[in-house]
Amino acid sequence: MVQLNVLLADSQQQASTNEASSMLNSMFNKENIDNFKIGLEQVMQLLEQTIATQQKPFSGILPQELAKKFIGIDLNQPLFDIPDALEEVAQLYLKDAVYFNNPRYLAHLNCPIVYQSILAELLATSINTAVETWDQSGGATFIEQSIVDWTLSKLALGEQADGVFTSGGTQSNLMAMLLARDFQCHLYAGHTNKQQGLPHDFRRLKIFTSKVSHFSIQKAAAILGLGYDAVVSVPCDEYFRMDMTALNQAIEQCQQQGDIVMAIVATAGTTDFGSIDPLTQIAEIAKRCGAWLHVDAAYGGGLLITPNNKHKLAGIECADSVTIDYHKSFFQPVSCSAFFVKDKQHLSVVTYHAEYLNPLSQQQAGTPDLCNKSIQTTRRFDALKLWFSLRTVGAQNLGVAFEQVMHLARQGYLLLASEADIEIIHQPQLSTLVFRFVGDSGATDSELDAVNKYIRKQLSRQGEALIAATKVADKQYLKFTLLNCATTINDIQQVVRLIKQYGYQYLASDLANEHAPLSLALEEVSYG
């Protein structure tokens, strides 16, 4: 019996050894570089075939239809073979992916990317660099810091400024509100939140931002324990910019109630309208009332490198903090974003010294550990993508590309304004257009809401084009977001033709109640 147990143990050990050997054959190292090259060639063949045959931005598949393809897949049973796995990925992912590089993808702030950034992504991923500490990243630390410093020179925030890469605008805006909250608590109450937690009267803190600013400000307020009610939504002017008279009135009311103006968030490129708040005027107001000024330039940050439109960000140099998403108007892969602060000392709010990771002795010795200024610990080496793009494409060419889509938006505005059955409600400052189909039948607002929902869902179902939707004054509108240099005014004309086709189709069938089953079916589907 003992001998049998020994034999079983030997057998299990041998199986474990075989599995370990199989893993060694899969590791990225010099022994497996040839196998990696073969796999890379197979991936390239699949990508080439996919891009060559991809005609639409989306297949039109519904969620419940795609979900059926995943039934029966057992992740505990490997395919082992790379071609088989690639075929599975092609069927489950690539076939029904959303293609931002298609000229008729006009929906969200997703950009096509420069191919040079993909090469950099391959390098960074292959080495698997983590940039939180010097002893994990080496030169990657200085590449990220160089990109931060380069951007700071464009922002002109001053010699004491600094920044760090983040996962995106939501995280950057969270960091901004975190620093603003702790700054104000210390300023007004001599309170150190990092050590003592929130003061008893923290509900006095208020954040002021426009009604069309990004929802991440409300989200940050909730995460930070302030709650949605801490955010004061300020009305906008006719150009969808924060209204200065309304801002002053809201601040005055806040102060009369004994509340504290914690922060003012100005938006440089709102998600829907691309509108840019009057940064210089807001900076003066923030200075007067002692508020932290944050500029959310996640979208509009690309203006910094444009040859002819930098002036639209005048006043950003007065900000206490700034958000920029390179994965929007710099044509970089997700994620590639950063947060910047005028005074680097404020970043100490997120510093915690762990002896195994970033001991205080390293900071005192001048070792550049980037985790000292991030709310994340493990972070990818996202800065290499932009570094490589700047070195191979050039900042000016990236800026020209952004100006090109801005020009296209102006062309699109003139086109939409010339259509009697289209109502457009703003002139573009960046590259978005908000409008709705109104037809020629004198339909009511509720009928127009229904028809515009139908138009968007039909476009998505057919896969011919993808556009976004939003609400303005409780009315349903459609939206073009233009970030693709390959998109032309002809593409926009063709999408407008489809919008009108589906709009009139709906109105005609609605009067006869012929469309009801289709409308109800589509209404159950939520498109991103």
pLDDT in tens, 258-298: 999 999 999 999 999 999 999 999 999 999 999 999 999 99
CA atoms within 13 A on the CB side of 358: 21
Q: Are residues 325 and 429 in the same domain?
A: no
Q: Last residue of a domain, which of 338, 367, 392? A: 392
Distance CA 527, CA 429 (A): 26
Q: Are residues 464 and 369 in the same domain?
A: no
Q: Are residues 226 and 363 in the same domain?
A: yes
Question: pLDDT value at position 525?
Answer: 38
Question: pLDDT value at position 131?
Answer: 92
Q: How many domains does the chain have?
A: 2
Distance CA 426, CA 212 (A): 13
Question: pLDDT value at position 220?
Answer: 97
Cβ–Cβ under 8 Å, residues 255 and 291: no
Query: Cα dist. 221→165, 177, 192, 303, 494 in Å?
Result: 21, 7, 18, 28, 42
Handedness of CA 441, 442, 447, 450 (dihedral sign): positive
Question: pLDDT value at position 392?
Answer: 98
- Taking 60 as the threshold, does the pLDDT of residue 359 lie above it? yes
pLDDT cut 90: percent of the chain above it: 80
Q: Are residues 249 and 337 in the same domain?
A: yes
Residues whose CB falls within 8 Å of the CB of residue 248, separated by 6 or more in sequence, listed in order: 285
Distance CA 124, CA 383 (A): 9
Mean pLDDT of the chain: 91
User: What b-and-e string marks burial along 389-418, b requiring 16 or more CB atoms within 10 Å of the CB?
Assistant: bbeebebeebbebbbbbbebbeebbebbee
Q: Are residues 383 and 426 in the same domain?
A: no
Cβ–Cβ under 8 Å, residues 479 and 469: yes
Question: pLDDT value at position 12?
Answer: 55
Higher pLDDT, 23 or 121: 121
Residue 190 domain-assigned (yes or no)? yes
The 10s digit of each residue's pLDDT in 190-236 is: 778 888 888 888 899 999 999 999 999 999 999 999 999 999 999 99
Binned at pLDDT 50, 70 and 90, residue 23 comes out as confident
The 10s digit of each residue's pLDDT in 424-454 is: 999 999 999 999 999 987 889 999 999 999 9
Stated length of the chain: 528
Cβ–Cβ under 8 Å, residues 367 and 134: yes
Q: Which two tokens stand for residue 109?
A: 């702030």
Binned at pLDDT 50, 70 and 90, residue 369 comes out as confident
Question: pLDDT value at position 526?
Answer: 36
Taking residues 234-253, what's their average pLDDT?
Answer: 97
Q: Are residues 483 and 470 in the same domain?
A: yes
Model confidence pTM above 0.85: yes
Residue 21 domain-assigned (yes or no)? no
Binned at pLDDT 50, 70 and 90, residue 13 comes out as low
Please tell me the least confidently modeled range out of 2-16, 94-108, 129-143, 484-498.
2-16
Question: pLDDT value at position 357?
Answer: 75
Is 437 in a helix, a strand, or coil?
Answer: strand
Q: Last residue of a domain, which of 392, 426, 460? A: 392
For the chain, counts of helices (H) and of strands (E): 19, 12
CB atoms under 10 Å from CB of 483, counted, come to 26
Domain that holds residue 438: 53-114+394-528
User: How do beta strands 466-472 and 475-481 pair?
Assistant: antiparallel
Question: pLDDT value at position 241?
Answer: 97
Q: Are residues 443 and 384 in the same domain?
A: no
Cβ-count burial of 225 within 10 angstroms (0-12 exposed, 13-18 middle, 19+ buried)?
Answer: middle
The 10s digit of each residue's pLDDT in 68-100 is: 999 999 999 999 999 999 999 999 999 999 999
- Taking 90 as the threshold, does the pLDDT of residue 517 lie above it? no
- Taking 90 as the threshold, does the pLDDT of residue 513 lie above it? no
Query: Cα dist. 60→92, 131, 415, 520 in Å?
Result: 14, 39, 27, 17
User: How do beta strands 205-210 and 231-234 pair?
Assistant: parallel
The 10s digit of each residue's pLDDT in 44-62 is: 999 999 999 999 999 999 9
The 10s digit of each residue's pLDDT in 377-403 is: 899 999 999 999 999 999 999 999 999
Q: Are residues 203 and 314 in the same domain?
A: yes
Give, as one character, the DSSP assignment of residue 236. B
Higher pLDDT, 520 or 149: 149
Give, as one character, the DSSP assignment of residue 154. H
The 10s digit of each residue's pLDDT in 165-174 is: 999 999 999 9
The 10s digit of each residue's pLDDT in 173-192 is: 999 999 999 999 888 777 78
Q: Last residue of a domain, which of 392, 421, 445? A: 392
User: What b-and-e string marks burial along 17-50, b requiring 16 or more CB atoms within 10 Å of the CB?
Assistant: eeeeeeeeeeeeeeeeeeeeeeeeeeeeebeeee
Please identify which residue in the block is written with the tokens 């302030």.
Answer: 226
Q: Long-range contacts of range 248-257, CB-CB < 8 Å, 24 or more positions apart?
A: 248/285, 250/208, 251/208, 251/285, 251/289, 254/206, 254/208, 255/289
Q: Are residues 198 and 326 in the same domain?
A: yes
Q: Are residues 235 and 95 in the same domain?
A: no
Q: Which two tokens stand for residue 277?
A: 């708040």
Higher pLDDT, 160 or 370: 160
